[in-house]
Amino acid sequence: MPEPPSVPIAARDAILAWYPANGRQFAFRRTTDPYAILVSEAMAQQTQAARAADHWERFMARFPTVAALAAASPADVQREWRGLGYNRRALALWRTARVIESEHGGSVPDSIEALETLPGVGPYTARAVAAIAFGRSVGAVDVNVRRVLGRMTTGGPAAIPVRQMQDLADDAVPPDRSAAWTHAIMDIGATLCRPREPRCEDCPARPWCRFAIAGTRSTDPTTTDWSTSRPKPPFPTTSRWLRGRILDRLRAAPDERWVTIQAPIGTHDRARVRRAADAMAADGLIELDGGRFKGGAIRARLATA
């Protein structure tokens, strides 16, 4: 039976040596506060790290502790989240703060099992927080990390099953360097080991990387970037755009006042605006006034509880 893939110690050491001078410098990487790290990881889900970093400092100034976030209204949190998108993450983070206050004495739990019970915290976020905030020797596996480890050890991530990839990621974590390793491997994936046109010549792991050694970087079938190969509809025609415009109108209203929203909004007619508003209310983002209004208008406000 073949040995499972593993990251050579020399490659790991080279990546750790590369990181101090070449890693991305974000404000949230200078904190050891588990709550602040949890906030940064929640913001970075489906969002570029640099964009999340810009919002993180403002959010932390407004809600510097778990208690401050838990005591806020969901409307306040939604206002501070503006510009990050995927707004359900904001509510999940607010609910997480309330769970931490009520069930964990106000302290972010330090085990993966407990972290994964928090609203909006999945396997990746739980392991990232455990590794960065608490020094746990666990690997946080996102699409970038999967690509780096897969290319390095087998030539491509498709050859490694999900469970085996997690074992590979865990085994690669150096003792007492879990935070630095987590940041370094993420940065390698984001800046060098890209899905298309990877910068193998600049990668510190190149001498040990099967993908680079094979010279297949221009034709790697396991890393097709479907986000760029499939045509996308114009953003203003999407439900995500419409939901964002509705939220922007409600965020501009002070004191959770009701706001009258008329259709159309952009290219979205009355029926699409209503469907979007109903879905947002079901998600807990907004509240709807059940009355009937002239011209089919709706009245809404940011969720207050």
Clarify whether residues 147 and 46 are in a common domain. yes
**Has residue 132 been placed in a domain?**
yes
Give the pLDDT of residue 71: 97
**Has residue 1 been placed in a domain?**
no
**Has residue 224 been placed in a domain?**
no
Clarify whether residues 152 and 195 are in a common domain. yes
Q: 38-79: per-residue pLDDT in tens?
A: 999 999 988 888 889 989 999 999 999 999 999 999 999 999
Q: Is the pLDDT reported for residue 200 higher than 70?
A: yes
pLDDT class of 179 with cuts at 50, 70, 90: very high
Tell which of 156, 181, 214 closes a domain: 214
Clarify whether residues 168 and 255 are in a common domain. no
Q: Is the pLDDT reported for residue 217 higher than 70?
A: no
Residue 179: CATH number of its domain: 1.10.340.30
**Has residue 43 been placed in a domain?**
yes
Q: Which among 109, 113, 101, 125 has a CA at the least distance from the CA of 43?
A: 125
Residue 274: CATH number of its domain: 1.10.10
CB 124 within 8 A of CB 141: yes
Give the pLDDT of residue 215: 83
- Rounded CA-CA distance 97/3 in Å is 43
Average pLDDT score over residue span 80-96: 92
CB 166 within 8 A of CB 141: yes
The Cα-based distances of 77 to 61, 81, 133, 251, 256 in angstroms read 12, 6, 23, 10, 12
pLDDT class of 219 with cuts at 50, 70, 90: very low
CB 242 within 8 A of CB 264: no
CA angle 23, 29, 30 (to 5 degrees): 115
Give the pLDDT of residue 229: 52
Q: Of residues 3, 41, 57, 80, which has the active-site annotation? A: 41
For residue 41, indicate whether it is catalytic: yes
**Has residue 229 been placed in a domain?**
no
Tell which of 183, 214, 245 closes a domain: 214
Clarify whether residues 156 and 196 are in a common domain. yes
Number of domains in the chain: 2
Give the pLDDT of residue 2: 66
Give the pLDDT of residue 304: 87
Classify 234 in phi/psi space as left (phi over 0), alpha (psi -120 to 50) or beta: beta
Tell which of 158, 183, 214 closes a domain: 214
Q: Is the pLDDT reported for residue 12 higher than 90?
A: yes
Clarify whether residues 163 and 288 are in a common domain. no
Clarify whether residues 157 and 257 are in a common domain. no
Clarify whether residues 101 and 173 are in a common domain. yes
Q: Is the pLDDT reported for residue 224 higher than 50?
A: no
Clarify whether residues 52 and 198 are in a common domain. yes
Clarify whether residues 258 and 119 are in a common domain. no
% of the chain exceeding 70 in pLDDT:
93
**Has residue 225 been placed in a domain?**
no
Q: Is the pLDDT reported for residue 237 higher than 50?
A: yes
Clarify whether residues 142 and 57 are in a common domain. yes
Give the pLDDT of residue 70: 97
Clarify whether residues 61 and 16 are in a common domain. yes
Clarify whether residues 183 and 57 are in a common domain. yes
Average pLDDT score over residue span 213-223: 61
Provide the residue range defining the domain that includes 279: 236-302
**Has residue 3 been placed in a domain?**
no
Give the pLDDT of residue 225: 46
% of the chain exceeding 90 in pLDDT:
74
**Has residue 226 been placed in a domain?**
no
